[in-house]
Amino acid sequence: MSDLVIVDYGAGNIASVKQAVWRAGWDAELSRGPDDLLSADRILLPGVGAAGTAMDRLRNGGYVEALSEAVRVRGTPMLCICVGMQLLAEELHEYGVHQGLGWVKGKVTRLEEAPGRRVPHMGWNKVYRPDGGAPPPPGILDRDTFYYFAHSYEMSGLDPAVLAGEADYAGPVPAALRTETVFATQFHPEKSQVEGEKLIANFMRWKV
């Protein structure tokens, strides 16, 4: 297998994610099935659209067990993007209530509209590290950086200890998580141009 295996469960941003990995200087392959995750050096879990549908596709494709074995048991580093990050939660409150992977405490709920906060949240926002949160991989979020967001739902009820980045969108929005060998972003590195490619490259160099 290549440097990185992208979990191919039908997410809409797979092609753009693969291109971003290539621009960052690395090779990536799409998974042909769950067994590919067990031999991968690194895994990327992409995602756009409804989290419940994404979870159903992972489950029906046999990927849930393979992800757990590869990442939680064997310690394979994994980068999760947008809905891929939301899938880490316990509950997904979008078009009903769905069970997530449950790797972090919390749930996914719709962003609340407020003055200065339109939903969906589309555009560039500065991401900063909160006090007392989880350390991201080296070279990532070592300074405040702008990244591109496109989402209507956010993670809530999180343990502050796993929060690695926040964005100010008329109030704080969880922007990045770190738990063990998993780093996850609500924003889209593949749409964040040079800074997104730097993030991907630093994830690929991450020694855990």
Rounded Cα distance, 171 and 196, in Å: 23
Tens digit of each residue's pLDDT (9 = 90 or more) over 104-157: 999 999 999 989 899 999 999 999 999 999 999 999 999 999 999 999 999 999
Beta-carbon count within 10 A of 174 CB: 23
Residue in the block written with tokens 């895994």? 43
The active-site residue, picked from 94, 154, 190, 197, is 190
For residue 53, CA distances in Å to 9, 96, 128 come to 10, 11, 30
Contact 201, 97 (CB under 8 A): no
Catalytic residue among 98, 121, 151, 188: 188
> Is 82 designated active site?
yes
Active-site annotation holds for 69: no
pLDDT digits (tens, 9 = 90+) for 65-107: 999 999 999 999 999 999 999 999 999 998 999 999 999 999 9
Domain ranges of the chain: 5-205
In Å, how far are 31, 81, 105, 121 from 102, measured between CA atoms? 22, 16, 7, 25
Question: What is the per-residue pLDDT for 49?
Answer: 86
The one catalytic residue among 80, 82, 121, 154: 82
Average pLDDT of 172-180? 97
Quickly name the fold that domain 5-205 has.
Rossmann fold (3.40.50)
The pLDDT of residue 48: 85
Interstrand relation of 43-45 and 78-81 (parallel, antiparallel or unpaired): parallel
pLDDT at 1: 58
The CA distance from 188 to 57, in Å, is 21
Which residues have CB under 8 Å from 59's CB, separation 6+? none
Let me know if 80 is a catalytic residue.
no
